[in-house]
Each structure stands twice: as structure tokens, then as C-alpha cells.
């Protein structure tokens, strides 16, 4: 590790020295995927789903295709993006004969500079035959012994592409024996709708895996090891960081990154974790302000109450103290805020997702 390079990273997929723990998850998910199972991985935003699955698939050496459905704009684009990724792992020659049997023959171009393959069927078209042909192609390329893993991230986005896509996909995918599908997403309620409701298309299609935070003791070691070479107060700094972030993977790395930068310039100073946290809040002041304006009155009362107290928002005391209204009003606000990712539900209790937003609310009220 370069002594001057910040050893923390946030906002991108992490691996190597930036990745910690997930030992239990790597074992469990690895074992699911050795069998013929499909898997649904759910967690709130930025808990580390993408980093984890890429690490697992990278380490097992399996052939895999990863597609983030947020980037897909149409049915045709879905097929093109998948096929483009097939070209990354299979040689041209092998694919040539198989694509000949497609009902619509795509145009395939090699970008002269990047060397990447660009595919298009009929740009923007809602025709579903290309998608079906591409999925059947993946099935043909895999074998029962060496299944191809197909990761569809932010899977709830299928409804934006086409409201009936769940049923169509299910009817194709249910016959596949040479593919392990891995569906991922951060909208727990939507994914549960797709995979757990009795009358839903993907009912019990695979095992549901809920990814949690990184345990505090594991994260503390990770922080200690990185603050250690900079100061003999590493233990205190690590605890202070985790106290603010509650071991949330992204926010922990973000705060640790900023603390490390301060350490580099000033050395240890008491209160420096708070200083770093205040810096982050100042940086996001505009975003938080804009976000705040999108909430209705009840949402604001609930969020304020949650920022200022540890009471359960559904308790009588909370509702009385913060004037948040009837239990049903508070409940629908909690649901709304959870589906927007502002709150996360952990062990049946609600928490604010972003510890810095929480602090922003508190500091705004003190102004
Ligand atoms: N195993 C890990 N060890 C250390 N930090 C991690 C780990 N996993 C995730 N993080 C931190 O969380 C951030 C988000 O990770 P990642 O993008 O994999 O999460 P995600 O759940 O896919 O997020 P999104 O909801 O935005 O798709 C990373 O940039 C990193 O800072
Ligand atoms: Mg992700």
C-alpha cells in the first residue's frame, strides 16, 4: 500500500485492499451458485451488492454476464446489451453460427478505438424476439456442469422497460437449465412483490438472500489497519467513525476517507471525526436542501423526530412529541420514505439511511 494513497474508497465497486469481510456471504452465495439455484439478492442502496457479486464470480472463475438494468432503455436495448456482454466472453467464431438462427439478425460493429463490440437489432424497437433469442443463446452456450451466471442488477427496473416484462422473462427463463440467474436490487418491497407474492410471475423462482451491513468488529479491524500507520490513536478514530455511520459500508468508507485526509495534513487532533463529518455535510448542503423540499409535512415531521430522538416513530410518545399525527398517517409516511430509500428497515425497526442527512437535519434546527 502506498503510504500517501488514501486507503479508503467509496461510490464505486470495491475489490482488493478496499474490500473487507463478507466471508460468510461469499461462502453461502458461492454454495448456492454451485447448485442449479437462482438467487435474489436484496439490500438497501450502497450496502455492497455489486461489489460482492463481482468478487464472488471473479474468484470462482465462472463465466458470467453482468447487466445493470438502470441503463437499459428498451426491449431491444436489453437484448443488445446482453449480446454485447456475450461477445466479451465468447469468441466471435463460436457465436457466428449460432446467431445465424436469430429471427432478427443484429448488426455487430467493433468500435475502432476501444475494441468494444456494439450491437443493435432495430434501435428503440419494442419487439421482444431479440431478447428471447439472446437468452436462448446463453442457454445454448452454457452446460449443466458449467452454468453461465447471468446477473441482472436493479431488476425492479424491468417494469420501467415494459410493464409486462416479468411474465415474459419468466416464461423464457423457467426452461433454462444451463444458466444461474442472479437478480439483484435495492427496492425490497418491489422485489418481494416480484418474487414472493403467490400470483406474481417469479413466485419462488429462486432463494431470497438479504444482504446486511458489515459487522462492526470486522469493520473496526479494517479501519484500524488503515489508520494504524498514521497515528497511535487509530483505535479511537475507528470507534468514532463507526459510531457515526453505524457500520454502513458506503458511509463508513466515505467518513474514513475524509478522516484519513485530515490525518495526513494535520495529524491526530481531538474531535477530528466530527470535523470530517461536518465537512461532508457542508459539501452536501445543497443536495440535502433540495431533497428536503421533496417531502410533505408528515414526512418532515417524521424525519425530524427520527433525527432528534431514538423513540420508535410509531410510538404514542413520538407522535405526541413531534405532532406527527395518527398511527396510520405515520405508517404510510414510513413506507413512503422506505421505498424511496431514505429510511431502511432493520430487524423490524426503521432507521435513517444516511447518517449525514440525519446530522444535517439536526444542525439545521439549531441554526
Ligand atoms: N465488502 C466491502 N468492504 C468495504 N467497503 C465496501 C464493501 N462493500 C461495499 N463497500 C462500500 O460501499 C460502497 C458501495 O458498494 P456497491 O456499489 O458494491 O454497493 P451496492 O449495494 O451495489 O450499491 P447500489 O445500491 O448503489 O447499487 C463501495 O463503494 C464501498 O465504499
Ligand atoms: Mg449496485
Report the distance separating Cα 356 and Cα 244, nearest Å. Answer: 8
Phi, psi dihedral angles at 76 (to 5 degrees): -65, -40
**Which pLDDT belongs to residue 348?**
84
**Which pLDDT belongs to residue 346?**
82
Summarised one tens digit per residue, pLDDT across range 76-109 is 999 999 999 999 999 888 999 999 999 999 999 9
Residue matched to cell numbers 495529524: 267
Residue 123 pLDDT > 80, yes or no?
Answer: no
Phi, psi dihedral angles at 181 (to 5 degrees): -90, 135
Summarised one tens digit per residue, pLDDT across range 320-359 is 999 888 999 999 999 999 999 999 988 889 999 999 999 9
Residue 8 pLDDT > 80, yes or no?
Answer: yes
Report the distance separating Cα 190 and Cα 192, nearest Å. Answer: 5
11 lines ligand 1 (CB under 6 A): yes
78 in helix, strand or coil? helix
Ligand 1, residue 45: give the atom nearest the CA: 25
- Report yes or no: 153 and 67 within 8 Å, Cβ to Cβ: yes
Q: How far apart are the CA of 266 and the centre of ligand 2, in A?
A: 35
> Which of 46, 66, 210 has the most ligand 1 atoms within 8 A of CB, as the residue to mutate?
46
Residue 227 pLDDT > 60, yes or no?
Answer: yes
Ligand 1, residue 250: give the atom nearest the CA: 12
- Report yes or no: 133 and 119 within 8 Å, Cβ to Cβ: no
Report the distance separating Cα 260 and Cα 8, nearest Å. Answer: 8
22 lines ligand 1 (CB under 6 A): yes
DSSP 11-64: SS---GGG----HHHHHHHHHHHHTT--EEEE-STTSSHHHHHHHHHHHHT--E
Q: Is 46 left (phi over 0), alpha (psi -120 to 50) or beta?
A: left
Ligand nearest the Cα atom of residue 48: 1
Report the distance separating Cα 88 and Cα 83, nearest Å. Answer: 9
51 lines ligand 1 (CB under 6 A): yes
Q: How far apart are the CA of 246 and the centre of ligand 1, in A?
A: 15
Amino acid at each position: 500500500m502506498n503510504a500517501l494513497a488514501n486507503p479508503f474508497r467509496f461510490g464505486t465497486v470495491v475489490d482488493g485492499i478496499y474490500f473487507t469481510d463478507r466471508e460468510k456471504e461469499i461462502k453461502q452465495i458461492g454454495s448456492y451458485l454451485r447448485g442449479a439455484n437462482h438467487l435474489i439478492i436484496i439490500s438497501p442502496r450502497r450496502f455492497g451488492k455489486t461489489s460482492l457479486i463481482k468478487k464472488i464470480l471473479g474468484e470462482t472463475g465462472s463465466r458470467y454476464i453482468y447487466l445493470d438494468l438502470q441503463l437499459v432503455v428498451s426491449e431491444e436495448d436489453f437484448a443488445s446489451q446482453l449480446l454485447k456482454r456475450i461477445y466479451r466472453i465468447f469468441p466471435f467464431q463460436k457465436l457466428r453460427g449460432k446467431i445465424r438462427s436469430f429471427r432478427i439478425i443484429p448488426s455487430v460493429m467493433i468500435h475502432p478505438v476501444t475494441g468494444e463490440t456494439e450491437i443493435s437489432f432495430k434501435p428503440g424497437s419494442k419487439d421482444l424476439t431479440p431478447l428471447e433469442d439472446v437468452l436462448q443463446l446463453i442457454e445454448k452456450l452454457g452446460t449443466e456442469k458449467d452454468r453461465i451466471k447471468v446477473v441482472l442488477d436493479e431488476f425492479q427496473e424491468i417494469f420501467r422497460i415494459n410493464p409486462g416484462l416479468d411474465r415474459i422473462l419468466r416464461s423464457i427463463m423457467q426452461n433454462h437449465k444451463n444458466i444461474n440467474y442472479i437478480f439483484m436490487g435495492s427496492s425490497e418491497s418491489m422485489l418481494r412483490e416480484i418474487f414472493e407474492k403467490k400470483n406474481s410471475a417469479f413466485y419462488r423462482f429462486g432463494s431470497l438472500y438479504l444482504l446486511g451491513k458489515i459487522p462492526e468488529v470486522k469493520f473496526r479491524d479494517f479501519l484500524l489497519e488503515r489508520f494504524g500507520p498514521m497515528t497511535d490513536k487509530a483505535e479511537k478514530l475507528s470507534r468514532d467513525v463507526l459510531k457515526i455511520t453505524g457500520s454502513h459500508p458506503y458511509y463508513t468508507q466515505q467518513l474514513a476517507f475524509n478522516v484519513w485526509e485530515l490525518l495526513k495534513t494535520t495529524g491526530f487532533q481531538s474531535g477530528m471525526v466530527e470535523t470530517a463529518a461536518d465537512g461532508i455535510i457542508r459539501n452536501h448542503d445543497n443536495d440535502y436542501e433540495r431533497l428536503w423540499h421533496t417531502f410533505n409535512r408528515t414526512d418532515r415531521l417524521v424525519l425530524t423526530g427520527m433525527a432528534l430522538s431514538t423513540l420508535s416513530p410509531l410510538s404514542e410518545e413520538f407522535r405526541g412529541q413531534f405532532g406527527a399525527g395518527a398511527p396510520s398517517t405515520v405508517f404510510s409516511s414510513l413506507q413512503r420514505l422506505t421505498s424511496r430509500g431514505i429510511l431502511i428497515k432493520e430487524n423490524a425497526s426503521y432507521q435513517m439511511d444516511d447518517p449525514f442527512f440525519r446530522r444535517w437535519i439536526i444542525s439545521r434546527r439549531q441554526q
